Chains A and B, each alone.
Chain A
Amino acid sequence: MNGIAASQPYVIAFFLLWAGLMKLLSRRMRAQAGQTALARLTGPARAVPVLRLVGLAEVAVATALLLPPTHLFDGVAAALLSAGFLAYLTYAHVAAPTASCGCLGTHAKPVDARSFARAGLLLAAALITVLLAAAPGLVPAVTLPGGLPEVVVLAEIAALLALSSELDRYWLVPLRRLLIRLRRPLALAPTGSVPLEASLHLLRRSPAYCSASAQLTSDVRDTWDEDGLRFVVYGARDRTAVFAVPLVGDDPRAVKVALVNA
């Protein structure tokens, strides 16, 4: 178990460095600071300075975690940062549900369950670090089979990365696109009939509709097909406008209209 616990500072340091460097170096992230929940919390004018300050704190704690020896203070600072981060996510979810979190990247997605899961996992890792530094004896000295600690730590990192929606475009989007190419979910056998919306689109592009549309007062009242034509009826104040739209072809000039006293 010690192997797993001893790797936690490095896992946390990796994510803190990522978050901190993004905040300090990404110009785009600073430009978008106004749309994050942070802007709601601090006011838009203070969003960028606060973003920088948080980035600095993250880099400082990450450096402390990476540099030996492991100190109790490092773990406590990481746990405090993680707990603060969870509190911030909760605030963002309640106060600005449509704003993005501005945590690790420039994506515009609001805070969701994945953000909470990632923050929770980081907090757990930080608490293990604190435990290891404060009372090494409390960590069970069970010897795990060779290779298992490494697998567990790699799985932890993979889970943290998978929970990072900032990275979706690198793996989730291509994966979904591949699955869609293989399964072709929307490939429908043509029904043979022309959807009404297709006829209405042709109708709206037609000179006939143009000349009559100022008179129309209702949406489509009635429609039927006859002799290769689709008839579409609209209300036109106290009159009726009837259009004939060809079911075959894509020439808007072929659409005809009559205004009828009925």
Chain B
Amino acid sequence: MRSRRDVLRSAVLGGGASVVAATAMGSLGPEAAFAATAPAPAQKVEPGAPDPDFAEGRIRSIKENTLLVLGSNLVFHTIRVVDGTSLWKLGPVAFDQAKPGDGLYARGVRMPDGMLAAESVWLNIVNIKGHIKNITGQTLHLDHNGHEVLCHVVAGKSVAIHSESPPTEDLSMLKVSQHVQILGAWRPDTNEVDIATVFSPH
């Protein structure tokens, strides 16, 4: 891992044999490899229809590098996680953080055998809007469609973004009855969420 990080570090700081394209400080360098060269290919999936390269559901079991997931529409998905797959659970995590019972969204490439080769897996991610009913201890009580969701502040991880201001760890600006969007990680089978980001319009 160390050596791979070294390669990547020197690539972004000083170039290297394997670098395809890089930005110089403050301005963009030769962007041939970056630019969206051709117009996007026509969308394969009919708007409104399910996207075969996407999966949603809860993890039933984990076998080696494969997640067996039961979708909310009762369709089973087999999702393969490889070295290049990103996993999110309140931030980037390793594969061993995926547990049976976790909810997930996954995007990747659907193989002919029906398996989804995952590029990204988001575990327990939720993005809910509501108004703050109360604030107690390190918890926001969010009224989300009439249901109370307890949103916990996680020290060192949770940030608040007040429109264009830079994100801040200090969430004490949040007020009772104001409307917010909370992106976070659901604690399975509870009405509790750990906060990644609170988006506040003011």
Interface residues of chain A, those whose CB is within 8 Å of chain B, are 97-98, 109-110, 112, 169, 173, 176-177, 180, 184-188, 190-191, 193, 195-198, 201-202, 207-208, 211-212, 214-215, 217-224, 226, 231, 233-235, 239-240, 242-244, 250, 253-254, 256-262
Contacts and interface: CB of A to CB of B under 8 A. Distances in A.
B115 interface: no
Interface stretch (B32-40, B44-52, B62-70): B32-40
Interface string B165-196: 01111111011110000000000000000001
Contact of A260 (B8, B167, B172): B8
B42 interface: no
Interface string B9-50: 101110110111111111110010111100000000000000
Contacts of A254: 25-26
A181 to B, nearest CB: 10
Contact of A256 (B25, B155, B158): B25
Contact of A258 (B19, B122, B138, B156): B19
Contacts of B84: 218, 221, 235
Interface of B: 4-5, 7-9, 11-13, 15-16, 18-28, 31, 33-36, 84-86, 88, 91-92, 119-120, 122, 133-138, 143, 145-146, 153, 155-159, 161, 166-172, 174-177, 196-197
Nearest to A234: B86
Nearest to A214: B36
A259 B92 contact: no
Contacts of A190: 169-170
Contacts of A239: 20
B168 to A, nearest CB: 8
A185 B138 contact: yes
Contacts of B166: 198, 201-202, 250
Contacts of B161: 201
A190 B13 CA distance: 30
Contacts of A208: 23, 28
Contact of A198 (B24, B143, B167): B167
Contacts of A207: 23, 27-28
Chain A facing B: main interface SS: mixed
A156 B94 CA distance: 57
B96 to A, nearest CB: 15
Given A169-B177, A221-B92, A184 B25 contact: no
Given A218-B86, A254-B26, A256-B23, A212 B11 contact: no
A112 B5 contact: no
9 contacts: A196-B157, A198-B168, A202-B166, A207-B28, A244-B9, A258-B21, A258-B23, A260-B8, A262-B7
Contacts of A224: 5
B50 to A, nearest CB: 20
Contacts of A173: 176-177
B13 A256 contact: yes
Nearest to B5: A224
Given A193-B156, A219-B92, A260-B11, A185 B135 contact: yes
Contact of A214 (B9, B34, B197): B34
A235 B22 contact: no
Contacts of A223: 92
A82 to B, nearest CB: 23
A259 B22 contact: yes
Contact of B88 (A98, A220, A231): A220
Nearest to B161: A201
A255 B9 CA distance: 13
B83 to A, nearest CB: 9
